[in-house]
Amino acid sequence: MLNLHHIFAMQKKAFFFLLVVCALGWGFSPYDSVFAGIALGAFFGTYNFWILVRRMEKFDRSISEGTKVASIGTALRFGSGVAAVAIAISLPQYFHLISTVIGLMIPYIFLVVERLVHHKKSH
């Protein structure tokens, strides 16, 4: 089974690929705000995953050392989601709001798809 660093490395790879697609769409299509919104949302979604990986490492360390864990960063992830939407609301000429929300969920969709593919391959 893959560990979380491998999963996050795949997430990063997919994010950079998506960023390239969004840059092409932003530059060469009339839907520039939609692609910018997706890129913004995906950036914050990947940031959420980075926070989660960091907190999981901390959690693992604290279990082995026997110390207490304060939190696994749920409020921080809620806050980063709100930050993405706040940017989209404050700059509506550059970022499409619904695309930002869709972009925020793209890393999660990618995680599910990647797990399904991995499950299919290993069984």
Q: How far is CA 31 from CA 26, 41, 61, in A?
A: 7, 16, 46
Question: Which of 87, 90, 78, 84 has its CA nearest to residue 104?
Answer: 84
Q: Does 3 bind another protein (CB under 8 A)?
A: yes
In 10 A of CB 12, how many CB atoms? Answer: 14
In the range 42-61, which residues lie near another protein by CB under 8 A?
A: 48-49, 52-53, 56, 59-60
Contact present, 101 and 38 (Cβ < 8 Å): no
Comparing CB distances to another protein, the nearer of 33 and 48 is 48
20 binds another protein (CB under 8 A): no
Q: Could you list the residues that contact another protein (CB under 8 A)?
A: 1-4, 7, 48-49, 52-53, 56, 59-60, 63, 72, 74, 77-78, 81-82, 84-86, 89, 97, 101, 104-105, 108, 111-112, 115
